[in-house]
Structures are given as structure tokens and as C-alpha cells.
Amino acid sequence: MNILDRFAVTDQVAVVTGAGRGIGAATAVAFAQAGADVLISARTASQLEQVADQIRATGRRALVVPANLSDLDAVAGLARAAYDEFGRLDTVVNNVGGTIPNAFLDTDSAYLEEAFHFNVTTAHALSLAAVPLMLGSAEDGQKSIVNISSMMGRASGRGYLAYGTAKAALAHWGRLAAADLAPRIRVNGIFVGSVMTSALEFVAGVPEMMEQMETKTPLRRVGEAEDIAAAALYLASRAGQYVTGKMLEVDGGIQEPNLDLHLPDVTA
């Protein structure tokens, strides 16, 4: 087998959440380019249709499912929808998530629980629904769950308590799930650094902020969505078939936040 063939996912089926733009969209298109049919889901149908056009342009099939992915029944239903449409399910990419930074005293319990729900519980709900469908076919280790976490799940910085805690929980959920599901299903994730998606659009228009982010990143640039998509494809394909329970750090080399939120010290 040519080494490049190990990155192919020909005739496989993937579910990608948060796929209307950014990392999710890039990942869905990457899987299609590598040979997979893809179910894509997010809130906004018009964005999903644009991504579906890119998938179909590769010659692969796309299933568009607009949904509120904080709704556990909706997110769990994506697994069955993919299986019913395509006849199999090979990979789940848990990409939906995110939480706005907040000062400690403004992070109440409800805010923390919301962050956990959106970043962790939704991933569990989809994976729980997907696993029985994934177990029905294929050899051991060729089914895969990929979680999109954040470098804030392994680092510390002011303002990221809710987001970082949730992303750390998602990473460890993956390690534990990998032990539970081995050897049939591999579970891995990605600690994502600063990637130029809609979440960073406010930075792109401020040269001083962009310079700070680039300067504080060892590779001296902000990441691209395709950087993460390539890592997800590696983890899901035969190229990553001897990897489970691991987190890839795709972050330009940063070890701490590369954007200062200028949150003041807590005072009495």
C-alpha cells in the first residue's frame, strides 16, 4: 500500500457537527476529498448548503441536517440519519462547541454548566448514538471518533475558566471512551490553537491584536481551518490506525493564550 493510500477514507461515511463554516466545514470537505460521504449539521441551512456544494463537487454525497446542536435529541439523531441515508457509519467528528471568555466573578454556575453541556454532553450524546451503528461492520480499529478540543483544555489563562474546563473534560472524555471502546472504535482528539475562523473575525480587523497573536505563536502565524481538518483526517483514516486515546496538539507551538484579554486582578 502506498503511504498516501492510508489517508483515504474511500466509501466511508462521516458525521461532522458544527460544519457550516470554519473547522467543521473544512473537515467535512477534507473527508469528501479523501473519499467519504458526509452528513453535515449546524444551525444555519444556507451555510450548510454551501459546504454541501463543495462536497458534491468532489463526487461524494452530502446530507444536510440543519439543527440546534445543543438539543441532545437532535444531535443524537444525526447518527441514525447518516446510517439510514448512506447505509453505514464510520467516523464522528465532534466539532460543535465554544464558550465566550468571561471573568471569574461573571462565570456563574449556570454559565459553567452551559459550557459543559455544549462542549461535552453533546459529544457524548452523538457518540452514544453512533457507537451501536458503527459496531455493525468493518474490522477492529477502523471506526473512529474525533473530538475537537482546544489548547485551553491543557493550558491556563485568565477568562477561560468555563471554556477551558469544558475542553479539558472533552479531552479526558475521549481518553476514557477510548479505553471503553477499544479495540473496535478508536477515540482521539485535537487540542486546537488559534485558528482564523468566524470566532476570530474581530481580531482580523485589528492589526495590533493580530500582531500579538502571531508574535506569541512560535510558528508566527494563526492557524488555518485546513490545518485542523488534515489532523482530523489523519486520526480517522488508516494513517492513524495505531492511535487511540490521544490528543494531537495542533496549535503552532503555543503553551499559553496568545491573546491578552486584559482582565484585571480580582479585588475585594
Residues 14-33 have pLDDT tens digits of: 999 999 999 999 999 999 99
pLDDT band at 206 (very low <50, low <70, confident <90, very high): confident
Q: Which residues pair with 249 in a beta bridge?
A: 191
How much is the pLDDT for 196? 86
Strand spans (E) along the chain: 13-17, 37-42, 62-66, 91-94, 143-150, 185-192, 247-250
Residue 11, number of CB atoms within 10 A of its CB = 12
Active site residue ranges: 163
How much is the pLDDT for 139? 67
With 90 as the cut, is the pLDDT of residue 45 above it?
A: yes
How much is the pLDDT for 123? 98
What's the rounded Cα separation, in Å, for the pair 186 and 192? 19
pLDDT band at 140 (very low <50, low <70, confident <90, very high): low
Annotation: CATH topology of 3-250: Rossmann fold (3.40.50)
Q: Is 241 within 8 Å of 186 (Cβ atoms)?
A: yes
With 80 as the cut, is the pLDDT of residue 89 above it?
A: yes
How much is the pLDDT for 203? 74
- Of residues 225, 221, 219, 197, the one with CA closest to residue 210: 221
With 70 as the cut, is the pLDDT of residue 138 above it?
A: no
Name the amino acid, one letter, at 60. Answer: R
CA 262 to chain centre: 28
